[in-house]
Each structure stands twice: as structure tokens, then as C-alpha cells.
């Protein structure tokens, strides 16, 4: 019986921050998977991807960037958070040979630790989203949720359909997983990783 109450307490603890953060925002949509975003799967042509993500996010993709074929990526496009005065990227899609090869939800450089104020909130198929803690990730995915000190703090989940990973808001250590937040959710090819600090 004690295990039941421990799990219930953890579930409530995980749900409260998301409910508070999402006040005034569209409820989380659990669409981020190792294969793509909702029905926008890897391998799909750029024009189709851009049109679908414009509709999903409610803003048009901008800031198309060219890359030099860095780690399987030759270009990217970003969708920006509507309510952000500083223009923070909400989602970046990565392309190779005019086809979707990866995505990054959130922005590691901005240290975003909150959900967007307006628009859809994307999450993994188990409900993990930016602003959640690594402790919540571990609760949602169990032992499949791996944490690392690499890149100043990161996480990864490997499932039967592939893996998703991302940056964290700090270096995870025993006892601080409830304070370290998920900054990004990434899948596929997103260019070469930054040099570890």
C-alpha cells in the first residue's frame, strides 16, 4: 500500500508544476517522438513539414539557416514563441537533402525553464516537456531515463522506436534532480554537439 501512495505523491508532484506553468496556455500535446513530431515524420519533404508545423504551432517558420553538412544537417528552420519579447525559438527543424532529419524543442542557450505563455505546448509521448524536472523524467520513463554531466547537463531516453534526448538547466548530481529542468527535447540529427564546458 505504501508503494501506491509513494507513486501517487510523485504523480501529483509532477503534475502541479506543469499545471501552474501552463495556466493561460494550450494544454500539452504529447507529440514529440523519436520518429518526428506528431504526423510529421523524419524523411518528409521540407515544404510539407513547414506547412504542417506552421499549422500546428500557429506561427510561420522563419530564420532559415544553411549549415555545411554538419553531422548530417544542411539547413534548419525555426518557429519562434509568439509571446517572447526576445524572440526565443520554440522549435527548430533540421533538414538534409530537403528532408526532415531532426528537431529541437526549446533552446539550450536561453536557459528557458518555463513553458511558452501562448500556443501549443509539445511534450513527449509520455508527457515530458520543457520546464519539467529531471526527477519527473525519471518518474515518467523509469530506468530508461539516463542523465549525464555531458554538455553541462543532459538527458536521454531510448525506447523501442528510437531515442530522444536534450539539454538540462544544470549539471545533475545525486539529490538535485528535482531542481534541474529539461531545457530541450531533441530527436534525430540536430547538427554537431557543442563542446562540453
Complete domains list, the chain, with CATH: 2-188 (2.60.460.10)
CA pseudo-torsion sign 122, 126, 132, 137: negative
- Looking from the CA of 56 toward its CB, the CA atoms found within 13 Å total 21
User: pLDDT (tens digit, 9 = 90+) per residue, 56-110?
Assistant: 888 888 767 776 666 778 899 988 876 655 556 689 999 999 999 999 998 887 6
Q: Output the pLDDT for position 16.
A: 42
**What does pTM read for this prediction?**
0.80
Give every CB contact of residue 118 below 8 A, 6+ residues apart in sequence. 24, 25, 26, 82, 83
User: How do residues 115-168 score in pLDDT, each as one tens digit?
Assistant: 666 667 889 999 999 889 999 999 999 999 999 999 899 999 998 899 999 999
pLDDT above 90 (res 34): yes
* CA count, 13 A, side-chain hemisphere, 30: 6
Query: If we measure between CA atoms, which residue out of 15, 22, 17 comes closest to residue 115?
Result: 22
Convert the pLDDT of each residue in 4-23 to its tens digit.
444 444 444 444 444 434 44
Amino acid at each position: 500500500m505504501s508503494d501506491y501512495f509513494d507513486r501517487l505523491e510523485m504523480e501529483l508532484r509532477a503534475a502541479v508544476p506543469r499545471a501552474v506553468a501552463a495556466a493561460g496556455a494550450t494544454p500539452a500535446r504529447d507529440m514529440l517522438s523519436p520518429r518526428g513530431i506528431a504526423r510529421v515524420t523524419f524523411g518528409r519533404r521540407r515544404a510539407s513539414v513547414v506547412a504542417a508545423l506552421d499549422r500546428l504551432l500557429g506561427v510561420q517558420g522563419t530564420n532559415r539557416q544553411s549549415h555545411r553538412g554538419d553531422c548530417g544537417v544542411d539547413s534548419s528552420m525555426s518557429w519562434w514563441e509568439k509571446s517572447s519579447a526576445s524572440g526565443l525559438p520554440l522549435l527548430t527543424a533540421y533538414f538534409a537533402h530537403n528532408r526532415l532529419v531532426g528537431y529541437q524543442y526549446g533552446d539550450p542557450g536561453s536557459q528557458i525553464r518555463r513553458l511558452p505563455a501562448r500556443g501549443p505546448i509539445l511534450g513527449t509521448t509520455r508527457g515530458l516537456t520543457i520546464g519539467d524536472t529531471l526527477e519527473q523524467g525519471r518518474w515518467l520513463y523509469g530506468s530508461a531515463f539516463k542523465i549525464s554531466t555531458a554538455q553541462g547537463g543532459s538527458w536521454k531516453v531510448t525506447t523501442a522506436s528510437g531515442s530522444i534526448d536534450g539539454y538540462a538547466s544544470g549539471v545533475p548530481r545525486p539529490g538535485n534532480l528535482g531542481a534541474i529542468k529539461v531545457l530541450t527535447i531533441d530527436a534525430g540529427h540536430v547538427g554537431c554537439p557543442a563542446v562540453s564546458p
